[in-house]
Structure 1
Amino acid sequence: MAADASTPSDALRITVPAGTAGQDCILTPAAKAFVARLGRRYESRRCALLEARQARQAAWDAGDLPDFDPDTRSIREGDWQVAPIPEVLRDRRVEITGPVDRKMVINALNSGARVFMADFEDSCSPTWDALIQGQINLRDAVDGRIEYTAPDGRHYQLRGGNTVLMVRPRGWHLEEKHALLDGHPVSASLFDLALFAFHNAQALQSRGLGPFFYLPKLEHACEAALWNDVLDDIEAELALPTGTMKVTVLIETLPAAFQMHEILHALRTRIVGLNCGRWDYIFSTIKTSRAHADRVLPERGQVGMTAPFLKAYSELLIKTCHRRGALAMGGMAAQIPINSDPVANEAAMAKVRADKKREAEAGHDGTWVAHPGLIPVALAEFDRCMPDANQLEVSRDDVIVGRDDLLAVPAGTITAAGYRANIEIAVRYLAAWLDGLGCVPIHHLMEDAATAEISRSQLWQWQHHGARLDDGTRITAEMYAAVSGEVLAELQRDLAPSTPGYPRLVEAAGLLARSVNADTLVDFLTLPAYDRLP
């Protein structure tokens, strides 16, 4: 795609030396001009939407709570459908997700899952090298020429399966500090999605494979409308038929749960489904109600999808999607097979089976896993309940969900072990993230930014509102200092120095402490941490 001659190719200034491997083949003059044109058209609108987020949060901090918008009642009650779902996306019963490193891309596309969601967001630490190499890896995968030889000599290459590629860019709230437009960082969302589309959209469209995307972290239909306009523009610039680029939106914020009809409507010519981003949703629930002392959640291990507020969210998503002709995707199974312990492994797999059985029987059209070893487990449950490509015919008219159902605070406790676990997970994940890894196995669970954010925000919430452990001990800043010091010492003693993030444990502990002790809950822990990435 040639650059528009009216826009100088150097309008997007890259602050990283050109020596980064592969940088020049991704950031060509035409590609930079493409990103710059989109940035100039949409940056002021993006910033206005982020300001609107802050205004809504200020109202919630002052005592309000989210609710369905009376001004959009006609959309919720109207008779309309989204555009037909392409045949290649009608059966999505098991999807695998993961970062965009080369080995992961190959293994995921060979996994047998219906879809691989290649993630520039929560499972990716956005170092400059990771972002550029990720674009190269996906380009090579689309071209069918991706290979990888590991340090141990093992060779990986595509086997010609039918797994469909979808890409998740970073959210609207993030910026790419290494790419400056008129002296300011460009939107990370536009940087990720536009570069992928520029290099791959025409090849994918020619094979009927999109391109297809997952859109993260939306809080309002106006943010979905912005994406719709951006995608319209990209299609026009790349000479793609209107509506070629299909999207699935993650409902992973509490405000978005009240906007599901409106989000589908804003993207109705190109949306194919919504997804229950359960871990981010729990984090968002804490963040949204951060000022409300009566809305403190129990420890994360007690907040499962059978909790009434999460069950209501999941079933409302199914009902909403199926009414509009869209797929309703279930949530992530974060377990990792435990090959060294058959008994523990079976217990973990039993949890996965129960979770996927619940999703399939509720009417979901598919689900997520984080590890290839979970694909057969999830697939068996959806095959049993879903003989056809999907369950769009399951209307769930029995589901009646109101505001109070989505806001119900689950019962539960905070144990000393749960408190310590939150500190350990947050410190270890953040240390690994600072070290360039965005997807980290900890205690046989795949932790990403979303799960770490639950741990971090719970620590803040419990301390800020003076919650008590189940033995009556009040959670205070002094308690955090003591326990976090013990946890850090244990990690430094017990983890091997080769453990991802080990050299940055002290730095991570300091960042976490500043967040936990802050007067106001920081929106995202990765925002202050991003300044420390290369």
Structure 2
Amino acid sequence: MSETPAGVQVLGGAVERGDEILTKEALEFVAGLQRAFGARRDELLARRKERRAEATAKGRLDFLEETRHIREGDWQVAAPPADIADRRVEITGPTDRKMAINALNSGARVWLADLEDANTPHWRNVVSGQVNLYDLVRKQIELTTPEGKHYKLRDDVKHAVPLVRPRGWHFDEKHILVDGKPVVAAFVDFGLHFFHNAKELISRGSGPYFYLPKMESHLEARLWNDVFTHAQQELGVQHGSVRATVLIETYPAAFEMEEILYELRDHSAGLNAGRWDYLFSVIKTFRDSDKYILPDRNSVTMTAPFMRAYTELLVRTCHKRGAFAIGGMAAFIPTKDESNAAAMDKVHADKKREAGDGFDGSWVAHPGLVPICFEEFDAVLGDKPNQIDRTRDEVSVTADQLLSVADTPGEKTIEGLRAAVDVGVRYIVSWLGGNGAAAIHNLMEDAATAEISRSQIWQWLHNNVVLTGGERVTADLVREVLADTEKQLRAEHGFPVDNLGRAVELFEQVAVADEFVDFLTLPAYEEID
């Protein structure tokens, strides 16, 4: 690796072509972000704990009185850049080389290049992901596998535009120290991509575009906006070149959608309905209350009253302000068995509902779902690039509607508990092994799946929930199900068991412990490298 700047230590090992990414100049840029904004990030994380304590004491969240003037004001976000004016189909996935090539070739309009929940932050993944971004921006990305299969960008399709998702504010990158402290991981992911690729993207008629995860307030959006402004000034890039879509995937953020758009208005590319993490956040925010207990995860659909309120408010808010509203994930993996037709029918129905509700586009996890998403959005959009002009003036959502979790139909069952343990352990095994995008039971899962699974069990356990079969959820019951799951997985043909013991221990830690762990990926991160 090349020389490091003063005050910067790189503790990670050598990664192929890492010296092209971890240059002295790039590390100086990342260190500059850390020194300018690291303390504010720390303050905002502390504020999260204070706000959850306030919400717990009140038993509710609400729209902010101090920002009423923003919600009632007359303002719009910046108009979208031409190359992402049409986002009707977006594909998601980690930044490994094969998936990057397949995503760009998929026919989707946008690729969410995921450095966050679909990516295990092994040091090799962190650096090689940036190598792959560097190459794909320059259209020079190819791969030949050990089996001799060759992947390259096709000439006969319009390549998906990459939107990079850095890690959330809560995560630190332990392999890079600035002035003796781990650097904020978001500054690494954003900073390296922006430093190496912003000007190249602009020269090619595009720009540095991002997805921003896990935010809980407009003040966190303000910090991102200040980071963007600083980065553009540092490199002499025109203000407003950065565009960011914010995932509304935390319960507190749902009450600050307009304020988040307002803070990022020069750099905004809209909001996304991050449905799975949203469920996790609902549980996490009110985990001690018996008024917010959800039924089995698989029975909570997007038509549940509180989820319906959330998506309706998101579309209304975005279009009122001239911003994109992007729908949620279709995670099915097409198969050749008899279950495929029914699964594809569900994808059709999901995308038809989103297009009909006014969303401008939506997510799929597999190239095989791209045509379905196109079919449903084409039927509504036709030749229009989006439906931002459909302002949904008839929609009016109250705080009580967003909070109506108790009205969710469905049961709490022992089968639901077993399914939560099964999918949670399977995912953690994959994550520890370096794969954050795991195919589980014909679904493409990321960290949100395991977060919902373990947090729901924690909530049931700590609220003395009695399941429909009469079983009371206790620590002993959870441990019994965990033991059965481990035994079954060890007997399952082809299942990788190297990390199974650690995965079971970790799942028990985050599902049973007296203190709720904010993100399971934090203790899991200590288990890797």
- What interval of TM-score do these two structures reach, taking the shorter chain for normalisation? over 0.9
Q: Given that residues 123 and 449 in structure 1 are in contact (C-alpha distance below 8 angstroms), is that contact kept between their aligned partners in structure 2?
A: yes
Q: Given that residues 420 and 483 in structure 1 are in contact (C-alpha distance below 8 angstroms), is that contact kept between their aligned partners in structure 2?
A: yes
Say yes or no: does 1:393 pair with 2:396: no
- TM alignment of 1:52-451, pairs within 5 A: 52-160=47-155, 161-339=158-336, 341=337, 343-387=338-382, 388-409=384-405, 410-451=408-449
1:525 paired residue number: 520
Q: Deviations over 1:59-95 (max 9, x none)?
A: 2233432110000001001111011111111110000
For residues 397 and 288 of structure 1, the distance between their equivalents in structure 2, rounded to whole angstroms, comes to: 30
For residues 524 and 469 of structure 2, the distance between their equivalents in structure 1, rounded to whole angstroms, comes to: 34
Q: Deviations over 1:435-472 (max 9, x none)?
A: 11101011001110011111111111111111121112
Q: Percent identity?
A: 52
2:476 paired residue number: 478
For residues 397 and 493 of structure 2, the distance between their equivalents in structure 1, rounded to whole angstroms, comes to: 46
What SS does structure 2 have at the residue aligned with 1:165?
strand
2:461 to 460, 463, 482: 463
AA of the residue aligned to 2:367 = P
Q: Which moved more, 1:257-266 or 1:519-528?
A: 519-528
**What's the offset of the Cα at 1:282?**
0.5
**What's the offset of the Cα at 1:414?**
1.4
Q: Given that residues 169 and 184 in structure 2 are in contact (C-alpha distance below 8 angstroms), is that contact kept between their aligned partners in structure 1?
A: yes
Q: Unpaired runs of 5+ in structure 1?
A: none
What SS does structure 2 have at the residue aligned with 1:503?
coil
**What's the offset of the Cα at 1:23?**
1.9
**What's the offset of the Cα at 1:278?**
0.4
For residues 198 and 236 of structure 2, the distance between their equivalents in structure 1, rounded to whole angstroms, comes to: 10
Q: Given that residues 213 and 246 in structure 1 are in contact (C-alpha distance below 8 angstroms), is that contact kept between their aligned partners in structure 2?
A: yes
For residues 519 and 312 of structure 1, the distance between their equivalents in structure 2, rounded to whole angstroms, comes to: 32
**What's the offset of the Cα at 1:385?**
1.1
1:12 to 1, 8, 11: 8
For residues 91 and 48 of structure 2, the distance between their equivalents in structure 1, rounded to whole angstroms, comes to: 30
For residues 383 and 496 of structure 1, the distance between their equivalents in structure 2, rounded to whole angstroms, comes to: 41
- TM alignment of 1:485-496, pairs within 5 A: 485-496=483-494
2:36 to 27, 32, 41: 41
Q: Deviations over 1:276-298 (max 9, x none)?
A: 00000000000011111221100
AA of the residue aligned to 2:483 = G
Q: Which moved more, 1:22-31 or 1:255-264?
A: 22-31
Q: Unpaired runs of 5+ in structure 2?
A: none
**What's the offset of the Cα at 1:481?**
1.3
Q: Deviations over 1:240-274 (max 9, x none)?
A: 11101111111010100000000000000110210
For residues 136 and 53 of structure 1, the distance between their equivalents in structure 2, rounded to whole angstroms, comes to: 34
Q: State the number of aligned residues.
A: 522
AA of the residue aligned to 1:269 = D
Q: Deviations over 1:209-251 (max 9, x none)?
A: 1111111111000000100010111111111111011111110
**What's the offset of the Cα at 1:121?**
0.2
Q: Deviations over 1:503-527 (max 9, x none)?
A: 1111110011111111132100011
For residues 254 and 64 of structure 2, the distance between their equivalents in structure 1, rounded to whole angstroms, comes to: 11
For residues 300 and 481 of structure 1, the distance between their equivalents in structure 2, rounded to whole angstroms, comes to: 20
AA of the residue aligned to 1:532 = E
Q: TM-score, normalised by structure 1?
A: 0.96
For residues 333 and 488 of structure 1, the distance between their equivalents in structure 2, rounded to whole angstroms, comes to: 28
Q: Given that residues 322 and 389 in structure 2 are in contact (C-alpha distance below 8 angstroms), is that contact kept between their aligned partners in structure 1?
A: no
**What's the offset of the Cα at 1:398?**
1.6
AA of the residue aligned to 1:393 = D
For residues 270 and 15 of structure 1, the distance between their equivalents in structure 2, rounded to whole angstroms, comes to: 33
What SS does structure 2 have at the residue aligned with 1:214?
strand
For residues 171 and 189 of structure 1, the distance between their equivalents in structure 2, rounded to whole angstroms, comes to: 6
For residues 331 and 477 of structure 2, the distance between their equivalents in structure 1, rounded to whole angstroms, comes to: 30
Q: Given that residues 427 and 446 in structure 2 are in contact (C-alpha distance below 8 angstroms), is that contact kept between their aligned partners in structure 1?
A: yes
**What's the offset of the Cα at 1:355?**
0.3
Q: Given that residues 97 and 368 in structure 1 are in contact (C-alpha distance below 8 angstroms), is that contact kept between their aligned partners in structure 2?
A: yes
For residues 474 and 9 of structure 1, the distance between their equivalents in structure 2, rounded to whole angstroms, comes to: 57
Q: Given that residues 276 and 314 in structure 1 are in contact (C-alpha distance below 8 angstroms), is that contact kept between their aligned partners in structure 2?
A: yes
What SS does structure 2 have at the residue aligned with 1:193?
helix
For residues 513 and 294 of structure 1, the distance between their equivalents in structure 2, rounded to whole angstroms, comes to: 25
AA of the residue aligned to 2:388 = L
1:510 to 502, 505, 512: 505
For residues 448 and 277 of structure 1, the distance between their equivalents in structure 2, rounded to whole angstroms, comes to: 12
Q: Given that residues 100 and 118 in structure 1 are in contact (C-alpha distance below 8 angstroms), is that contact kept between their aligned partners in structure 2?
A: yes
CA RMSD of aligned residues (A): 1.2
**What's the offset of the Cα at 1:495?**
3.8
1:24 paired residue number: 19
AA of the residue aligned to 1:396 = R
For residues 318 and 17 of structure 2, the distance between their equivalents in structure 1, rounded to whole angstroms, comes to: 41
What SS does structure 1 have at the residue aligned with 2:499?
helix
For residues 391 and 291 of structure 2, the distance between their equivalents in structure 1, rounded to whole angstroms, comes to: 34
**What's the offset of the Cα at 1:400?**
1.5
AA of the residue aligned to 1:390 = N
